[in-house]
Amino acid sequence: MSLFDWFADRRKNAPVVRSSQGPDPDEGDGLWSKCPQCGLVVYRKDLTANAHVCKGCGYHHRIDSAERIRLLADEGSFEGIDSDLSPTDPLAFKDRRSYADRLRDSQQSTGLRDAVVTGLCRLEGLPLALGVMDFRFMGGSMGSVVGEKLTRLIEEATARRQPVLIVCASGGARMQEGLLSLMQMAKISGALERHRHAELLYIPLLTHPTTGGVTASFAMLGDLILAEPKALIGFAGRRVIEQTLREKLPDDFQTAEYLQDHGFVDAIVPRPQLRSTLASLLRLHAPQRQSQPVAP
């Protein structure tokens, strides 16, 4: 048996592990949407008006990068940067399918070049450098283009003396790019350190899910770390940890609430309150953080 066949058998026989938020319930073009958590059926326009949060139980439906930007940025204020960057296939990687084919399919299905959208905008009139990861594109995985775009965004914000908000939604580093993907963890972290040294604000927003190398780097380096309710946040998977430790983990392990209780998350903010919360934080930090020019 080849090594590939061994992995294929392992994957076939492995138990299915489902996240606490379940499948994407907000897909499709119907007029109605059913909450997978409480079963409430609502008019889709009403769901959109409530920031895609169920009014019955507070379940946060997964949203794409365009909708996230619409909810956060002042209307017409978002200006994308580095939108022409596209990934390549430096390792000519192939498993069941080639990496080039997977990239092409993701680009066609999402209309994106890669798994993050970056740009400059205003939030209630306040300047903000905004990066939004999109889980639809290969699970929001972090490859070289994602790392490069986030690094350039942070560097632009440092030069302009603006705060940075990165909305995290990712399965982690992109294995098809190997070490080139893992290098992005250090590159983004270095840019954030220069941003911090300039006494500028950085806020990561951890959404469902935020895992792997993203959690191990820029997702946990914020001055203030925010999360959406019940978001899955962690590094390794639950099953891997339980097999390594040989003990049962708590039911709420790796949820936003568990991480807040243990000091890893500063605040859990429901999506309908997020915009006003961020505006308050930006106003609080703006006078001190944007008064002095950047030292050469």
The pLDDT assigned to 286 comes to: 80
The pLDDT assigned to 26 comes to: 47
The pLDDT assigned to 122 comes to: 98
Question: 229: closest CA among 195, 206, 253, 197?
Answer: 206
The neighbour count for residue 2, using CB atoms within 10 Å, is 7
The pLDDT assigned to 1 comes to: 44
Does residue 217 contact residue 202 with C-beta atoms inside 8 Å?
no
The pLDDT assigned to 81 comes to: 97
Cite the residue boundaries of each domain of the chain with CATH code 3.90.226.10: 63-289
Q: Which residues of the chain have pLDDT under 70?
A: 1-29, 287-296
Q: Could you give the C-alpha distances from 185 to 150, 197, 204, 251, 289, in angstroms and in order?
A: 11, 18, 14, 29, 25
Q: How far apart are CA 88 and CA 143, in angstroms?
A: 10
Query: Architecture of domain 63-289 in CATH?
Result: Alpha-Beta Complex (3.90)
